[in-house]
Structure 1
Amino acid sequence: MTSPLLARLLPFAAYGLFALVFVPLLALSAFNHASAADDYCFADTAVKYGFWQAQTFYYNGWTGRYFSNFLVHGSPLVWGWYGGYRFIPALAATGWVWAAYLFVGELLRGLIAPASVRRVSVSLTAILFFLYILALSSVVEGFFWLAAVTVYTVPTALMLYWGAVMLRWYRQSPGTLRTLTGVWAGVLVFFIAGCGETHMLLLLGILAAAGFWVLLRDRRLDWRLAAMFVVAVISAWLVIRAPGNAVRMSGGVTAGSVPTALKLSLLWLAKNVPGWLIRTPLLPLSALWLLLGGRNLREGGRPNAFVNLPFWYAALVVAGLLLATVLPSFYATQFITDRAVNVTYAVFLLGWLYLLTTQLARAQQLSTGTYLPVLLGVTAIWVLFGIWRSQPVKLMYSDLLKGKAAAYDREMTERHNRLIQPPVADTLRLAPLTVAPATLYVEDMRDSPTHWWNRCQSGYYQHKAIIIDSTLRAPAASL
């Protein structure tokens, strides 16, 4: 197989793998509904007390995550647009992919030939998203459940975009555009830190590591990194000092024990990170990137200074960032949720890509003729094995092809139509759902009218009480 032919075929393979996981996400998005877990609680509070007062209630009474609170209190339910939830997964997935593309493009700019930047960035982003979905801990918490999307997926996408803005900022010449870019980067820091502790720590870690390296290498303080760090610290302080944050953290069984959280975090990483290397074709795809990416290096190119970090230092930073993604969970509750694992896995993939990219110059001298045919065969087999073993891929296609998503959509639509009808009794009895597709369903109301999810929906729909009655066999039975 000639190199030109290979260069044309490999991008199509990347696009095919991307479509394999992106298309079912888009299709499932059409069946998405608001979840009984949290979504109605945020909406009920905002409708009853107003958008800004709802922010105050949650900032003081439960969480200091000011930006994610801002997003969930402006959900489609608040505006009476129940069908708006059908667009949320598609928007979240598209935003993630677009932000990743921008980041990868800026990472490669100046490193490889200008004519190849767009083509290579698209292919790398496609492979990156394929790998992300392949071993994603929870699809529903990653893209379909709004309460989780705003705390974990949105800030992940924003961090990718922020990384692209920061790399672009360092390439720009002094002037108005560079000033505005720096201001926008600071605004993004404020937004990201306000989504939750995990991304707040990631920001602080990245800025501290980059600033320390400049200080170590050049014996000077980088004022741009210092300014970003100050913004991040102020934003973090707004989260940490929030009364609601103390209320939420007080429920953890670890009771704020740093040594215990650190031990649990390290054990979890040691147990789970190797599995990502085995269950996905990351290793052979990485070898392909080193072999083929090195051939596209720009003659005399000048990559961004932060792409030229020594491998040992960059590896330590990536390891520290991985620890930062799991430490808050174990510090607060002594366990980690699937939605938090989604972030850890994303950081692992992006950190891995960054480490490989820093080594492209060394890989440039490797001969592709000796290794490439065998490597392509191993990669193809490993990709097929990864797809076959991928639980997220199985769940997405199962929910679509077996009609679970469509049945869930019908039952939730029927339930919503019943809920918007005027009350005819003190207690509205609804049948339990007969299907609970793993990619769409989180939780449902209970048989007790005092349960939190029941109270939130009864308040939102203005019913005195709502219960799930297991004696009713189907949603139609309650009509």
Structure 2
Amino acid sequence: MKHPLIDRLATVTVVLLFLLAYLPLVLLSFHNHPSAADDYCFADTATRYGFWQGQKYYYDGWTGRYFSNMLVHASPLVWGWYDGYRFIPALVATALVGSIYALVNEILRSESLKNRLLATGLVFFMIVMALQSTVEAFFWTAAIATYTVPTILTIYLVAVLIRWYRLPNSLLKGLTAVWASFLVFATIGSGETNLILLILLLFTIVGYRLVFLRRFDPLLVGLVVVALISAWLLFRAPGNAIRMGSNQAKAGELVKSVGFSFGWLARSIGEWLLKTPIIPFSLLFIPVARRLVRHGSPVRELFLLPAGLLTVIYLGLLAGTIFPSYYGLGIPPFARTMNILFVFFVLGWFYVLTVWVGWLERRGRSLTLVQKWPAPVWLFTGVWLIGSLLASTSIKQMGTDLLTGNASTYDHEMTERHQQLLTKADTVRLRPISVYPPSLFVEDIKSERNHWWNRCQSGYYGHKALVLDSTLTATVNP
């Protein structure tokens, strides 16, 4: 049995780790501002031509991401609510926590509420500490709509599907199926990265149930149909050809793209295993995994899968998440894609681990490392955790931006700039912002007045031109 003192210390530690990841996001959220990159372009299009015409403009001229396009064309700027951007990161972070809890709650429903909450906190902490780009995950609205939102929807969709199978035949079960269909439609319509992952996942589950279990699953087949129709809507967009045209010289090489995807995945997994505490957390998770796969567990059936085959599928799905970057653009995945990849790496890792634990248990090879050697395991976890925190770029960035006052200075100067842009003038000369905190900032307007970012922002505010003038003196932040 676990010692009460160790249990309390573990609980306090997990709560602190969760707060270390969540609170900086909330605090930084209230320093957030719309970005010159894309945010004003979407807002200017929607206010100038209308919401639906803006959808058509981007669908025909740039991208077929119909659902994320709807989100960005309904941003707070469109409604004239500039300060609405201060709430977006906090809401997105909370939604991610909620989706993780929804999934954990379904898989660990035989565990106590405390354990489910602690597991949710640890998963969220690991996701935030491993972020390659905090700003693209939580603060840049254009990236949030295309990457973070569909990731949240995908996680929640898996939870909804697990719940559907244990619901009795009723109106609620039918409505849940409709809701799952909408989640598929929205996820695929948000971006190609989650599109590939979700379609591969649905095909894999349908194939497994047909080939190994000899079961035809109407719900999953229906979701596959919805997914294919949704993907067709996205890829048929005339704007996709335009967006990908500049990379045709490097893109479209199928065999090389597959090889590069698996190579990049192997490199990434090696870094994650070293730089995050997933290995010691896995050791601590083994007792929970043993309870999940024992006889009488209400979720045991979820883990009665061929462990080797599942591992291959798991790696294939992760490589499939990378594949669009190499095949569509001919380059390694962006940081925002790696943010998504790590989310599904972590969730899939613990699922595959549980399946392997069940496989070993059924063969009489019980894993009792934590029970036999609790002190060394906990000490090992603590040392590794400290090292992981020291290596975490995202945690250090957020802490630095808050503690040095850079976030506050950026907020003050961006607010001042917004007030200046509200004045009436043909040409507005703006001074550069004195500090660009990496947790909050993507891109600023340029010194060339005809740059796309300048034109979008000047159009939104009703000016003829914006000029970034480095000769203007900065005001003092009181």
* TM-score for both structures, normalised by structure 2: 0.95
The 2-side partners of 1:87 and 1:309 are apart by 42
Instruction: List per-residue Cα deviations over 1:382-401 (Å, max 9, x = no partner).
Output: 10111111111110000000
Q: In the alignment, which residue of structure 2 is the partner of 1:162?
A: 157
User: Structure 1: where are the runs of 5+ without partners?
Assistant: none
Alignment of 1:380-419 (within 5 A): 380-419=382-421
Give the aligned residue type for 1:174.
N
Corresponding residue SS for 1:44: helix
Shift of 1:304: 6.2
Shift of 1:289: 0.3
C-alpha contact (below 8 Å) 2:257/2:326 kept by paired residues: yes
Give the aligned residue type for 2:334.
T
Shift of 1:358: 2.4
Mean CA deviation greater in 311-320 or 399-408: 311-320
C-alpha contact (below 8 Å) 1:321/1:347 kept by paired residues: no
Q: In the alignment, which residue of structure 2 is the partner of 1:215?
A: 210
Does 2:241 match 1:246? yes
Corresponding residue SS for 2:373: helix
The change in CA–CA distance for 1:208 and 1:446 in structure 2 (over 3 A counts) is same
C-alpha contact (below 8 Å) 1:210/1:306 kept by paired residues: no
Aligned length: 470
Q: In the alignment, which residue of structure 2 is the partner of 1:185?
A: 180
Shift of 1:302: 3.2
Q: In the alignment, which residue of structure 2 is the partner of 1:321?
A: 317
Shift of 1:367: 5.3
Give the aligned residue type for 1:223.
P
The change in CA–CA distance for 1:137 and 1:365 in structure 2 (over 3 A counts) is closer
The 1-side partners of 2:211 and 2:319 are apart by 23
C-alpha contact (below 8 Å) 1:214/1:220 kept by paired residues: yes
Alignment of 1:60-459 (within 5 A): 60-109=60-109, 114=110, 116-252=111-247, 253-295=249-291, 300-303=296-299, 305-335=301-331, 336-361=333-358, 362=360, 366=368, 368-423=370-425, 426-459=426-459
The 1-side partners of 2:297 and 2:3 are apart by 22
The 1-side partners of 2:293 and 2:116 are apart by 14
Shift of 1:299: 5.3
Q: In the alignment, which residue of structure 1 is the partner of 2:55?
A: 55
C-alpha contact (below 8 Å) 1:446/1:453 kept by paired residues: yes
Instruction: List per-residue Cα deviations over 1:342-367 (Å, max 9, x = no partner).
Output: 11111111111211232444466525
Instruction: List per-residue Cα deviations over 1:174-229 (Å, max 9, x = no partner).
Output: 12111111111001100000001111111111111111111122223221111110
The 1-side partners of 2:261 and 2:251 are apart by 15
Give the aligned residue type for 1:258.
L
Give the aligned residue type for 1:84.
G
The 1-side partners of 2:276 and 2:205 are apart by 30
The 2-side partners of 1:178 and 1:304 are apart by 22
The 2-side partners of 1:239 and 1:328 are apart by 14
C-alpha contact (below 8 Å) 1:254/1:261 kept by paired residues: no
The change in CA–CA distance for 1:66 and 1:74 in structure 2 (over 3 A counts) is same
The change in CA–CA distance for 1:194 and 1:122 in structure 2 (over 3 A counts) is same
Give the aligned residue type for 1:259.
V
C-alpha contact (below 8 Å) 1:162/1:185 kept by paired residues: yes
C-alpha contact (below 8 Å) 1:292/1:368 kept by paired residues: no
Give the aligned residue type for 1:341.
M
Corresponding residue SS for 2:168: coil
C-alpha contact (below 8 Å) 1:414/1:476 kept by paired residues: no
Aligned-pair identity (%): 46
The change in CA–CA distance for 1:295 and 1:167 in structure 2 (over 3 A counts) is closer
The 2-side partners of 1:302 and 1:278 are apart by 34
Instruction: List per-residue Cα deviations over 1:34-72 (Å, max 9, x = no partner).
Output: 000000000000000000110010011100000000000
Give the aligned residue type for 1:428.
V
Corresponding residue SS for 1:467: strand
